[in-house]
Structure 1
Amino acid sequence: MDSQNKNLLIATVLSFIVITAWLVLFPPADPAPVEPEEVAETLAPGAVNEDGSAAVPPAATGTPDAPGDTAPAATPADTQSALAASPRIAIDTPKLSGSVALLGGRIDDLHLNDYNVSLDADSDTVTLLKPAGEPEAYYTLYGWAPAGDLDAAEVPNANTEWTLEEGETLTPTTPITLVWQSPGGLTFRRTISIDADYMFTVAQSVENGTETAIRLAPYSQIVRHGEPSDLKGFFILHEGVIRQTEAELAEIDYKDVREFEQDGREGAPAETVQANGEGWVGFTDHYWETLIIPENGQTFTSVVKYLPSANIYQTDVRLPVMDVAAGATATIDTRLFAGAKEWDVIRDYQNEGGVYRLLDSIDWGMFFFLTKPIFAVLHWLHGLIGNMGWAIIALTFIMKAILFPLAYRSYVSMAKMKELQPQMEEIRKKAGDDRMKVQQEMMELYKKEKVNPASGCLPVLLQIPIWFSLYKVVFVTLELRHQPWLGWIRDLSAPDPSSILNLFGLLPNAAPDPTSWFYFFSLGILPILLGISMWLQQKLNPAPADATQAMIMNWMPWVFMFMLGRFASGLVLYWITNNTLTFIQQYTIMRSHGAKPDIFGNIISSFKKKPEPEKK
């Protein structure tokens, strides 16, 4: 078997093994959704007993325990009833809608105006945050933890009834201010503002109207009741807690959060990290995320925890204790990103808004040095062309052009190796069983003819990280979600919806669910074109002389056709384009070096039955 076929066989077999192992070892997870009766309300970070009620530890002295540990006890049912009856302040921006509850001053009702759950005309917009009491509740809380001699009743908690002091609706031009006065004469205010995209700013202030100094510490938290029901569970995508602590980025799966060590309180596994002025923490989903972002330069403590008695995940930002003199006022600002992971918006928050490394909240993967520029070019092409499918095709042309010099050298090297086959066979005959002599004379031949036998593998090796990076871009980034190409391809982030079973859309019945095993046997138009493009690429060269190798080569395109049919349409479109360009490049280079590929003859010979060897 010549080196070209050998390299191709090795590459295809290795790819087949990798993809098969992936599908077997990492199947999509099917987590059970959280039922309403299983949801328990948190009153403050970590303050939940086994029965779901708030814990009431002794009053804090010196420095605070966990924020809000001194909250008054209340049952989840009482909290949920009060929350349902609580007055709300509407949120109305170009990209967000929802409301803020006066109970606790919670941001707990948020919808993404630009995104729908599905492509159906009557589909609802995506809901990001939900109040306690609803399935998969997901919300933010803010408050103060008492320190020194300050009594817990003097600070607001998750059940505090705030009063609207200023504003009527939260919009990009009209912030709202909530106010609450403690029994002892402290006045707390919470001013919430929002921009035209997804960034909230929460300014918490305390005015000390007493005659003595007070000590207290502000905190912010994101609370999530159970894992999301639409958790993908793919190893290529991180879903769960994400935390930037100075230069360190931590991606923590829900399973890992549950396995944290105890932080000193019964049933509260937690991980605590100190940050000296740069970072953020929160939850990330496939396309959306919610992050608490302290002020630049602000020292803070980042806490990630799980409350098993209530099946609640939390991320906290705890700020240092503040000393507020009598008659003085202290204010602290904290930002909250709650929205879609739009690359250009997040980039502006990082570059212009000063949010440290916010672009890393998008899961770029281990080949980030490839995925970031690949996506930047794809994003630019999409803006230029206006269609993501054609942008993917244009990106493939650019990538092939960049790799063409290397591919040219590879094809030339393989052509020279093919020309040297007679001399190589002569060396083998003369040397007989002396392998050392064969290798020495082969190396002398390569040196004399200036041929590198390994150069034919370089394009294949380079294609592996590029292929993986493009798959990562197609799968992870929001910009491909619900993006059409042409005709029946309405969502490039989803598999080809056409099927043999519905005559590729001619019949009204839909294709099988992509998650069902039956879908494996249902092929769309793009997967079929992928198989054909791989098969034609093979036919540039005659089949290997060995019958077993020839059989593997003949079956490989069709095996890949079935396996890759479940992948995103955008990725399959890239493979088809890449295979077509590779075919054209290789055919042109072979012809320029005197070779005349007999494609039609190779196709005919692949259907002929090989003669059985004569018996001696």
Structure 2
Amino acid sequence: MDDQNKNLILATALSFLVILGWFLLFPPEQQAPQPSDPAATPGVQVTEGETGALSPPALDGQPPQTSAGATTGPATDVPEAARVPIETPKLSGSLSLAGGRIDDLLLSTYDDTLDPDSGNVRLLSPAGEPGAYYALHGWAPGAGLDAVAVPGTDTVWDLEEGETLTPESPVTLRWDSPSGLIFRRQIAVDADYMFTVTQSVENPTETDVRAAPYGFVARHGLPDLANFFILHEGVVAMANGELIEEDYDSLADLDVDARIGARAVTEEDVTGGWIGFTDKYWMTSLIPSQADTVNLVSLYQEGPDIYQTQTVYPTRDIPAGATVTQESRLFAGAKEWETIREYEKEGGVTKFIDSIDWGWFFFLTKPIFAVLHWLNGIIGNMGVAIILLTLCIKALLFPLAYKSYVSMARMKELQPEMEKLKERAGDDKAKLQQEMMTLYREKKVNPAAGCLPLLLQIPIFFSLYKVIFVTIELRHAPFFGPFRDLSAPDPTSLFNLFGLFPWAAPEPSSILAMIFIGILPILLGISMWLQQKLNPAPADATQAMIFAWMPWVFMFMLGGFASGLVVYWIANNTITFTQQYLIMRSHGSKPDVFGNIRSGFKRKKSEAK
């Protein structure tokens, strides 16, 4: 490999380090969305003759308005009410008859930590508790109704049918309005994470009335966030085929809509959409009937510090003697790829798989994860699946790698002639460059060919890192021995003598973690170092020093990354070393790995003297 080829590789590697460091220190800011035109979004009031969709009902704790604009009184405290247990293979908890809220939900198949006594992951929490997070459905009053004629967010419902909500037994709630209307809400749940909410209004009176169904998910206060630039946390929605992502900061920066009394943005006239809040591994999302046209709303209200996502349906006519029904769904659970894909394919939820944060390189992350998931299903070990995935990627890139390594071997054959050119050209760099290009053309050698596989590795590296970081299938996925969570950094360390002592390694965010690195980062550094030794060190002393330090810089830099990513990098380096060695040997070049190692040590000794 000549100096020019080495310069290209060095520039690529340094560029990678600079870009990675820049994104870690200065993550890109997301632009806050602009609120829709207030004139296009009617207020909560519903006047005679309206046919369009309502704007969102008031935030929980802020009463809806009547058509005359008068309020019905604050609802700041949720009354005590009976609870209906929820028991499914993957969920446990309860719903409250106060408002009919789904507000107490644990994920039965996921623990908070690897400690089996840590308890299940809590997804939803009742109002009044720290981090309150819940879903609620209801009706906003239209013509012929006032606020007391429809159930409010704190209305206590009666349990009309069912005792425990299970996949085999839905429950039905009932509330009789002072106006004579009868409101029912049937709630069903499947064996995974999908609730089906069927709301109905029976009008036994002699007066035609109107009302608009809605659903909302509310979060009180800012939740605990991973706060990493490659991960989206906040509102995620699908509106007319377009994925929308808004973080919590962008909601808080919106302009206040005076009629709603909150910072709000609305996606209007959406068909085949959904909206909710996404965390790293969990999500709660409102899914209206995919054939209905609705408004999707994101809200933030200061003071109460409440974030909300809402689905607001068009106002419905409820004629005298008739019953009107509205069905919608609520996803509340883990973002499991197979489960969400099934809801998209069989359940008809438009592009629901995009609720998983695939990132900019989605065209790579999606197929990479699909192959990784398939391999893990066959083998039953995610670490081994990552190694086999690396083999698949290397096999796919082998034609390019072959040309690259052949080019390196031929460049090595040209080394004596290159030295002669340097002697003839002396200090005339222009002449040297011209004669080198002539030599390359005559020998049909491309000096940049060796860099192409490396350049292709960069987006693949980022894509695999994205997959390992965001997909729940890697969470708590074991490899072997002390490596019990491939989504977390290496748990071994010099600090605990690589897992022999019973105490934990330093926290990844601490300075000690940068010093007391584990087994996997050390193997990564060694594999990169050996790969370098396939070729002699550059003649230039500065380049040689940079190349010599690069494996150990990467070793410490990637030490805090997810173990699964480091496993991939070690496997990649090992396979690359083997490929390059065998191909160079097949073309007459005999890489002297151990000789290069010895010469490197001799050079350092001489420099030390």
Give the TM-score taking structure 1 as reference length.
0.90
* Counterpart-to-counterpart distance in 2, 1:550 and 1:347: 50
How far the C-alpha of 1:444 sits from its partner, in A, is 3.6
- 1:329 alignment partner AA: T
How far the C-alpha of 1:569 sits from its partner, in A, is 0.5
- 2:174 alignment partner AA: V
Which residue number in structure 2 is paired with residue 411 of structure 1? 405
Aligned with residue 489 of structure 1, among 477, 483, 493: 483
Correspondence 1:268 to 2:262: yes
The C-alpha deviation readout for 1:177-230, integer Å capped at 9, x for no partner, is: 10111111101100000111000000010011111111110000000011212x
- 1:23 alignment partner AA: L
Which residue number in structure 2 is paired with residue 102 of structure 1? 97
Worse overlay, 428-437 or 471-480: 428-437
Which residue number in structure 2 is paired with residue 65 of structure 1? none
Superposed, 1:6-85 pairs within 5 Å as 6-26=7-27, 47=58, 54-55=62-63, 57=65, 59-60=66-67, 72-74=72-74, 76=76, 78-79=77-78, 82=79, 85=80
SS in 1 for 2:578: helix
Superposed, 1:113-512 pairs within 5 Å as 113-229=108-224, 231-265=225-259, 267-427=261-421, 438-512=432-506
Which residue number in structure 1 is paired with residue 587 of structure 2? 593
Unaligned runs of 5+ in 1: 28-43, 62-68
Identity of aligned residues (%): 60
Q: Tell me if structure 2 keeps the 8 A contact 1:172–1:196.
A: yes
Q: Tell me if structure 2 keeps the 8 A contact 1:267–1:308.
A: no
* Counterpart-to-counterpart distance in 1, 2:308 and 2:535: 59
Q: CA distance change for structure 1 residues 390 and 513 in 2, over 3 Å: closer, same or farther?
A: same
* Counterpart-to-counterpart distance in 1, 2:423 and 2:488: 55
* Counterpart-to-counterpart distance in 2, 1:325 and 1:573: 65
How far the C-alpha of 1:447 sits from its partner, in A, is 2.8
Q: CA distance change for structure 1 residues 349 and 164 in 2, over 3 Å: closer, same or farther?
A: same
* Counterpart-to-counterpart distance in 1, 2:274 and 2:116: 37
- 1:14 alignment partner AA: S
Q: Tell me if structure 1 keeps the 8 A contact 2:5–2:448.
A: no
The C-alpha deviation readout for 1:528-574, integer Å capped at 9, x for no partner, is: 11111111111111111111111111111111111100001101000
- 1:477 alignment partner AA: T
SS in 1 for 2:257: coil
* Counterpart-to-counterpart distance in 1, 2:203 and 2:396: 65
* Counterpart-to-counterpart distance in 1, 2:475 and 2:260: 42
Q: CA distance change for structure 1 residues 333 and 70 in 2, over 3 Å: closer, same or farther?
A: farther
How far the C-alpha of 1:3 sits from its partner, in A, is 3.9
Aligned with residue 557 of structure 1, among 544, 551, 555: 551
Which residue number in structure 2 is paired with residue 575 of structure 1? 569
Q: CA distance change for structure 1 residues 45 and 99 in 2, over 3 Å: closer, same or farther?
A: farther
How far the C-alpha of 1:169 sits from its partner, in A, is 0.7
- 1:60 alignment partner AA: S
* Counterpart-to-counterpart distance in 1, 2:260 and 2:186: 35
The C-alpha deviation readout for 1:14-46, integer Å capped at 9, x for no partner, is: 22222333333359xxxxxxxxxxxxxxxx966
* Counterpart-to-counterpart distance in 2, 1:566 and 1:560: 11
Following superposition, which runs of at least 4 residues in structure 1 exceed 6 angstroms of deviation?
Answer: none
Aligned residues: 580
Q: Tell me if structure 1 keeps the 8 A contact 2:75–2:154.
A: no
Q: Tell me if structure 1 keeps the 8 A contact 2:56–2:297.
A: no
- 1:416 alignment partner AA: R
Aligned with residue 511 of structure 2, among 507, 512, 517: 517
Q: CA distance change for structure 1 residues 214 and 504 in 2, over 3 Å: closer, same or farther?
A: same
Q: CA distance change for structure 1 residues 46 and 280 in 2, over 3 Å: closer, same or farther?
A: same
* Counterpart-to-counterpart distance in 2, 1:432 and 1:595: 28
* Counterpart-to-counterpart distance in 2, 1:243 and 1:500: 45
Q: CA distance change for structure 1 residues 554 and 432 in 2, over 3 Å: closer, same or farther?
A: closer
* Counterpart-to-counterpart distance in 2, 1:70 and 1:459: 68
Q: Tell me if structure 1 keeps the 8 A contact 2:58–2:260.
A: no
Which residue number in structure 1 is paired with residue 49 of structure 2? none
* Counterpart-to-counterpart distance in 1, 2:435 and 2:228: 50
Which residue number in structure 1 is paired with residue 6 of structure 2? 5
Q: Tell me if structure 2 keeps the 8 A contact 1:393–1:574.
A: yes
Which residue number in structure 2 is paired with residue 530 of structure 1? 524
Worse overlay, 265-274 or 421-430: 421-430
- 2:6 alignment partner AA: N
How far the C-alpha of 1:428 sits from its partner, in A, is 5.2
SS in 2 for 1:301: strand
SS in 2 for 1:269: strand
How far the C-alpha of 1:75 sits from its partner, in A, is 5.2
How far the C-alpha of 1:415 sits from its partner, in A, is 1.8
Q: Tell me if structure 1 keeps the 8 A contact 2:71–2:147.
A: yes
Q: Tell me if structure 2 keeps the 8 A contact 1:2–1:418.
A: no
SS in 2 for 1:512: coil
Q: Tell me if structure 2 keeps the 8 A contact 1:138–1:223.
A: yes
The C-alpha deviation readout for 1:383-432, integer Å capped at 9, x for no partner, is: 00011111111111111111111100011112222223344454555566
* Counterpart-to-counterpart distance in 2, 1:561 and 1:611: 24
Q: Tell me if structure 2 keeps the 8 A contact 1:244–1:281.
A: yes
Q: Tell me if structure 2 keeps the 8 A contact 1:294–1:334.
A: yes
* Counterpart-to-counterpart distance in 2, 1:275 and 1:426: 73
Q: CA distance change for structure 1 residues 56 and 171 in 2, over 3 Å: closer, same or farther?
A: closer
Q: CA distance change for structure 1 residues 603 and 438 in 2, over 3 Å: closer, same or farther?
A: closer
* Counterpart-to-counterpart distance in 2, 1:483 and 1:316: 35
- 1:72 alignment partner AA: T
The C-alpha deviation readout for 1:363-392, integer Å capped at 9, x for no partner, is: 000110110000000000000001111111
* Counterpart-to-counterpart distance in 1, 2:433 and 2:533: 31
Q: Tell me if structure 2 keeps the 8 A contact 1:302–1:318.
A: yes
SS in 1 for 2:397: helix
How far the C-alpha of 1:261 sits from its partner, in A, is 1.7
- 2:213 alignment partner AA: P
Unaligned runs of 5+ in 2: 29-54
User: What's the C-alpha RMSD, in Å, of the aligned pairs?
Assistant: 2.1
